[in-house]
Structure 1
Amino acid sequence: MLTASTAIKKALQAKEQGILSGTESMLAILSDLHGQVMTELGKAALGSFDAYHLRQMLDSIEYQVANYTLRAKAELSDRLSEAWNLGTNLVDLPLAVSGIRMGSYHLSTAVLDTLKDYSNDYLQNLFGDAWYKVKGEITLGVVGGKTPQEVAESIGKTMDAGQFKNIAARAETITRHEMGTVFSKASQLRMEQAAESVPEMEKQWIHAGHPFRPRPSHITAHGKHVPVNESFVIGGVPMMFPRDPKAPLKETMNCGCDHVPYHPDWE
């Protein structure tokens, strides 16, 4: 028999699967972009660095970066919408098991749209950095009198060994963090709606870990529950939910925690 607790666990599993799928898709887009850049460099290695061919190559790479930036934004936008719905389900599913339906309560997506705008800015900066690094390498190579082959080889090594991996890591962090934030914000807003008609409903902090180093204050908060409209106090910092944008980055970046609906009658 499905209980409120098992419904919550299933909703959290769906969230993790969604974030994993989202990060994989974002990394695939970056991998494709990397391939396109290397193809352009390979073509350049067969020619010469006169002004015409240099401009052609730079224009082509800039176009590819712009194109993949749009692809990445569209992908993340879809993933954030998915995370928003999953965050709503985190509240709706255990309530439904308990015989409470929230279908008549509409959750405005105005906040989601704002969060999408912020995420787009992060991606714009990320891909912009990628473009300027490639352009800088090409320009330095030309100024330094390197042949097209030498420049292509140098950029290839740099892209593979450092810059691309760094960009990919940043893209993964952005995707995971933004999807997690949207999920928790939707859950918080839905809990606030539910609390109006469900007596004794609260929210509970669930420590799910940091991929590199768990935060002691987040571990200490595990299992604690507070009224829905009140803040958790995590390491002395008030937070309405994990990855609360109002909290300092040291408490939110790479945070894998969740907050879930809590009721004393639930198993």
Structure 2
Amino acid sequence: MPSKTKPAQQTERPARAFEEAVSRHLQERARLLLSAQGQVLELLVSARAKIVETLTGQPSDFQQWQLTRLLGQINDVLDGAMGQAGALFALRMSDAWKLGEDLIDKPLTAIGHSIEMVLPQLDMGVLKQMQAFGSLRLKDVGREASAKIGQQLGMVTIGGQSPFEAIKEVQKLLASDSPRRATAIVVTEVSRAFALASNERLEQAADIVPELGKQWRRSGKLHSRWNHDLVDGQVVGAKDQFSVPNPGGGIDKMKCPHDPNAPIEQVIHCGCVMLPWKKTWKVKTPGALPFSEKELTMDGRKAALEQARKRTEGRQE
């Protein structure tokens, strides 16, 4: 009996080690994204408190407000917050870049492909450009917030609204619009760093590991993009592109989730990932991930997609 089960065990152990390594790095990615969001939000909350304190300290008589001086103080607070956010953001992108590289190296090593010490270092120039671009976008959030705050305060100085009403509007702006835009930038760009590093590393590894490919894996969000759910499990060669339906019609060619050449509607708020894949590997879910009962109940589009899949499978049988 032991001799009969040994080959199965030899197959199962590498497969389990591969999936465990992939799962571990995807969990690290999720923690990294949450950490990056939390750090940026904390800076914005602090900036909001300072700005509101500055405004509440102004004279109750709007005619005594010194708009130029007041806006200068607010700009200083916002510039400082966004500068700090940009520095933290760059660090989290570096973490994501290394983690994306490890998503390829570590699982392949777990199944006997020791590529980590053989392949060259990824081009860090790409990461630096992404960091610079992302930091500029965060600064734009600060500038736009400053301009909108200026409009509210300008209304006070001409008697168009009371200081109390202006402060309420500024609080609303700094509590919703600015954090929403800043966190969207952080999540999108940190995810992009992870995805591009993984893709670049996979293309390098393809020169060493025969028939290496890549698989699109959906995010698992409750209300995810229907078109990304549709391509879940799609497999292409390591240096080829995925074919992803565009919500507006047609097909977008993407080398990985968060591809910088893809339309913005394909990447913003996207939680999908790309995984290393090979036909001969034994994995728990080789194709599309089944939808959970909660997903099917809460999202009608997923329920419709599931029914369409079942009809297709029935015809194939």
Q: TM-score by structure 2 length?
A: 0.77
Query: Are positions 1:118 and 2:137 aligned together?
Result: no
What is the one-letter code of the residue matched to 2:47? L
| Whole-Å separation in 1 of the counterparts to 2:228 and 2:74 | 44
| Whole-Å separation in 2 of the counterparts to 1:180 and 1:206 | 14
| Whole-Å separation in 2 of the counterparts to 1:238 and 1:163 | 37
| Whole-Å separation in 2 of the counterparts to 1:244 and 1:44 | 48
| Whole-Å separation in 2 of the counterparts to 1:126 and 1:48 | 28
SS in 2 for 1:233: strand
Q: Cα deviations across residues 196-235 of structure 1 (Å, max 9, x unaligned)?
A: 1111111010011456x42222112111211010000011
Query: Are positions 1:85 and 2:95 aligned together?
Result: no
Partner of 1:6: 20
| Whole-Å separation in 2 of the counterparts to 1:44 and 1:216 | 50
Of the three residues 24, 36, 52, the one matched with 1:38 is 52
Shift in Å, 1:163:
5.2
Partner of 1:244: 259
Query: Are positions 1:215 and 2:225 aligned together?
Result: yes
Number of residue pairs the alignment of both structures matches = 261
| Whole-Å separation in 1 of the counterparts to 2:100 and 2:61 | 53
| Whole-Å separation in 2 of the counterparts to 1:135 and 1:224 | 49
Partner of 1:29: 43
Partner of 2:181: 170
Partner of 1:206: 217
SS in 2 for 1:226: strand
Query: Are positions 1:103 and 2:117 aligned together?
Result: yes
Bigger radius of gyration among the two: 2
Aligned-residue RMSD, C-alpha: 1.9
Say whether the 8 Å CA contact 1:5–1:266 is kept in structure 2. Answer: no
Say whether the 8 Å CA contact 1:210–1:254 is kept in structure 2. Answer: no
Say whether the 8 Å CA contact 1:210–1:255 is kept in structure 2. Answer: no
Say whether the 8 Å CA contact 1:173–1:254 is kept in structure 2. Answer: yes
Say whether the 8 Å CA contact 2:259–2:267 is kept in structure 1. Answer: yes
Shift in Å, 1:117:
1.9
Query: Are positions 1:264 and 2:279 aligned together?
Result: yes
Partner of 2:157: 142
What is the one-letter code of the residue matched to 1:40? T
Runs of 4+ in 1 over 2 A off after TM superposition: 45-51, 53-58, 159-164, 213-217, 263-267
SS in 1 for 2:141: helix
Say whether the 8 Å CA contact 2:115–2:205 is kept in structure 1. Answer: no
Say whether the 8 Å CA contact 1:44–1:57 is kept in structure 2. Answer: no
| Whole-Å separation in 2 of the counterparts to 1:49 and 1:77 | 43
Shift in Å, 1:46:
6.0
Say whether the 8 Å CA contact 1:102–1:194 is kept in structure 2. Answer: no
Query: Are positions 1:197 and 2:212 aligned together?
Result: no
Query: Are positions 1:186 and 2:197 aligned together?
Result: yes
| Whole-Å separation in 1 of the counterparts to 2:148 and 2:220 | 34
Shift in Å, 1:132:
1.0
What is the one-letter code of the residue matched to 2:85? A
Partner of 1:72: 85
Partner of 2:4: none
| Whole-Å separation in 2 of the counterparts to 1:163 and 1:265 | 52
What is the one-letter code of the residue matched to 1:206? R
| Whole-Å separation in 1 of the counterparts to 2:40 and 2:261 | 26
SS in 1 for 2:57: helix
Say whether the 8 Å CA contact 2:52–2:171 is kept in structure 1. Answer: no
Q: TM-score by structure 1 length?
A: 0.91
Shift in Å, 1:74:
0.5
The share of aligned pairs that are identical, in percent, is 26
Partner of 2:166: 155
Closer, same or farther: CA 102–124 of 1 in aligned 2, 3 Å: same
SS in 2 for 1:246: coil
Closer, same or farther: CA 248–55 of 1 in aligned 2, 3 Å: closer
SS in 1 for 2:25: helix
Q: Which runs of 5+ in 2 are unaligned?
A: 1-12, 246-250, 283-317
What is the one-letter code of the residue matched to 1:44? Q
